[in-house]
Structure 1
Amino acid sequence: MSNEAAVAQNRTASPAPASLGSAAAPLGYLALGLTLLAFGLLSTGVLNGAGVKDAGSLALFVGGVTLFVSGLLEFRGGSAATGTAFLALGAFWVTWAQAAPAGKDATGLFLLLWALLALTLTLAHWSGGDLVRGVYALFTVALVLLAVSTLGGNETVGKAAGWVAAAAGLLAWYSATSALAGGAWGRVSLPVR
């Protein structure tokens, strides 16, 4: 058997990786996952001397720029829902990273408006699988909790929001990892669906 025939046979024998959309979707979900994980953990206060603003560069470049580029590629690949999600979330992270300090009412309103966007993304991805739907649903909850924390000055609710955001980040990271590595090690990863 020639080398080319062996490669072709291996391709057909291995299970296809789980799909999150076009080829840019795993990159977008990795960027979203890492940004949400950092944002969430820094919101919890679990790291002494670190806060949410310490994730500014990560939010700007990984969350903002990478998600924006992934969104454009998703649109090019024909995925309006994922393209919209990545472009909008890229705008969210750029705004979050670059925003001047605002009053609690303005910040709370900002978070509530983005929670509406996250709710829209949850509904738009309803048939996209449990993990992807879970990412957006948990992000919605995290944004609502952060808004309540900001408007009410309740630090405990803010820490709870951080844990919810971190859970959303882990789901996004796992979704992307599963899609990229599905079947690569001869084992089946947990399903993305």
Structure 2
Amino acid sequence: MDKDVSAGRTTSPLEHLGHLALGLTLLAFGLGHTEVIDGVGAAAAVTLATYVGGVALFVAGLLAFRDRDAFTGTAFAALGALWFTWGVSADARVSANAAGLFLLLFALVALTLTAGASGSALTRATYALMFVALLLIAVARFGGSEGLAQVGGWFAAGGGLLAWYGATASLANWPAVLPGRPAGRGVTAAG
């Protein structure tokens, strides 16, 4: 029984794979930006971002398109492109403004995914946290603020944990949503 309780629909194996890949990549990217682990910066996530976040997500997106799942295909293919591009261009010499623009553009993609997510609240929250993280890190690149990049890293790590938990909860049949509030007096099932 792998039901997404909030949406009442079955979660596909591609969604499990995609959310695990996104969760691990976003968590590594975020923790690297927080610099909470000594000697581990954002560049430490490059290999993971290239292959797990980039290739695995992109392939999962293409397979979702094949299964006629437009939202999942769009989300995973776009995010796969983001992580692959970020990973392979990590050693390139670009200006802080160019890096900020790249992150800002993909923050807009994350915002679109947040608005378009009709699945679980965990999925919507993951994309929302990713949007905030990319926006903060983009602004940090434009302004040269390491502190703001660290705050963005915490948002990315939180989004990564949500994506990971959502995939794990679905696979393990754990609760993926909070239980509904009980109806008060005078409230009927119809309204």
Whether these two folds match at TM > 0.5 is yes
Deviation of 1:23 (Å): 2.4
Aligned residue number for residue 112 of structure 2: 120
Contact kept? 1:64, 1:90, Cα under 8 Å: yes
Q: CA RMSD in A?
A: 1.3
Distance 2:59 2:110 in 1: 19
2:30 paired with 1:45: no
Equivalent residues, number: 171
Match of 2:12, SS? coil
- Alignment match of 2:3 (pick from 18, 27, 52): 18
Match of 1:101, SS? coil
Match of 2:36, SS? coil
Listed as ranges, the gaps of 5+ residues in structure 1 are 1-15, 183-188
Amino acid at match of 1:191: A
Distance 2:54 2:112 in 1: 19
Listed as ranges, the gaps of 5+ residues in structure 2 are 5-9, 179-191
Contact kept? 2:56, 2:80, Cα under 8 Å: yes
Deviation of 1:46 (Å): 0.6
Match of 2:158, SS? helix
Query: How many percent of aligned residue pairs carry the same amino acid?
Result: 54
Aligned residue number for residue 52 of structure 2: 62
Amino acid at match of 2:68: G
Match of 1:50, SS? coil
Distance 2:176 2:34 in 1: 29
- What is the TM-score normalised by the length of structure 1? 0.85
Amino acid at match of 1:104: A
Distance 1:101 1:175 in 2: 36
Deviations 1:13-52 (A, max 9, x none): xxx1124643211000000000001110111011112211
- Alignment match of 2:79 (pick from 89, 100, 103): 89
Contact kept? 2:110, 2:130, Cα under 8 Å: yes
Aligned residue number for residue 11 of structure 1: none
2:175 paired with 1:190: yes
Aligned residue number for residue 65 of structure 2: 75
Distance 2:177 2:159 in 1: 14
